Amino acid sequence: MFGMMNRVAVAVDGSPASLAALKCAMDLVKADAALLCVDVKDMMSFDLEYAAEAYEGGGATDDSIKEWDKLARQVGKQVKSIADEYHVEVVWHILTVEPGHGGAALAFVEYAKKWGAEVLFVGQHHGSRLVEDMFGSFPRWVATHSHLPTMVVPPPVEATTTKEHDRK
């Protein structure tokens, strides 16, 4: 299957794990493959931020959404730069998910299917165990619910070592 893939979708949010997934996909696709890179803007996360901060008098603002957009544009530039290094053509897309329309993982999978992806690549995040247990994780949801083959790529070793060290 690898080296023969023509249409590959990668979830890229700028994290070390998502960039590792992108590079892995680029290593494994045909030279003339189409590579879709998607960053999901989950508006529910802004609502949750607002709800969590509401008791402190703060909340999600247009500024936090603008900051997310700014960071997403930077991720898009990073994706294009990596694609240039690998000599792979990419389509960069920011997918906005409104509250009540499913989560980020579902939106990614559905968009990738509509685009015609043959396989999905996602990064394995090493986030909070408590948060993952309560809400699940993006890569876990994609791997267990998608009907497309899914490659879950771990972050680079130095990224996990640094994060573990920071927790101590």
Is position 2 within any domain? no
Please state the pTM of the whole predicted model.
0.80
- Whether 50 shows a pLDDT value over 50: the answer reads no
Q: What is the distance between the alpha carbons of residues 92 and 75, in angstroms, rounded to a whole number?
A: 10
Q: How far is CA 29 from the centre of its chain?
A: 19
Render pLDDT for 9-23 as a digit per residue (tens, 0 to 9). 999 999 899 999 999
Q: What is the distance between the alpha carbons of residues 80 and 55, in angstroms, rounded to a whole number?
A: 41
Is position 149 within any domain? yes
pLDDT of residue 82: 94
Which residue do the tokens 């876990």 mark?
Answer: 140
- Whether 49 shows a pLDDT value over 60: the answer reads no
Q: What is the distance between the alpha carbons of residues 130 and 116, in angstroms, rounded to a whole number?
A: 35
Number of domains composing the chain: 1
Is position 92 within any domain? yes
CATH assignment at residue 47: 3.40.50.620
Whether residue 151 contacts residue 122, with contact meaning beta carbons closer than 8 Å, is answered with: yes
Q: What is the distance between the alpha carbons of residues 25 and 108, in angstroms, rounded to a whole number?
A: 16
Q: 40-44, 54-58, 60-64, 109-113 — which one is most confidently predicted on average?
A: 109-113
Range of the domain at 27: 7-167
pLDDT of residue 144: 92
For residues 165 and 140, the model is more confident at: 140
Is position 117 within any domain? yes
Nearest to 7 by CA among 40, 22, 29, 27: 29
Is position 1 within any domain? no
- Whether 156 shows a pLDDT value over 90: the answer reads no
Residue 10, H or E segment: strand 7-11
Render pLDDT for 94-120 as a digit per residue (tens, 0 to 9). 998 877 777 889 999 999 999 999 999
Long-range contacts of 78-84 (CB under 8 A, 24+ apart): 78/14, 78/19, 79/12, 79/22, 79/37, 82/19, 82/22, 82/23, 82/26, 83/26, 83/35
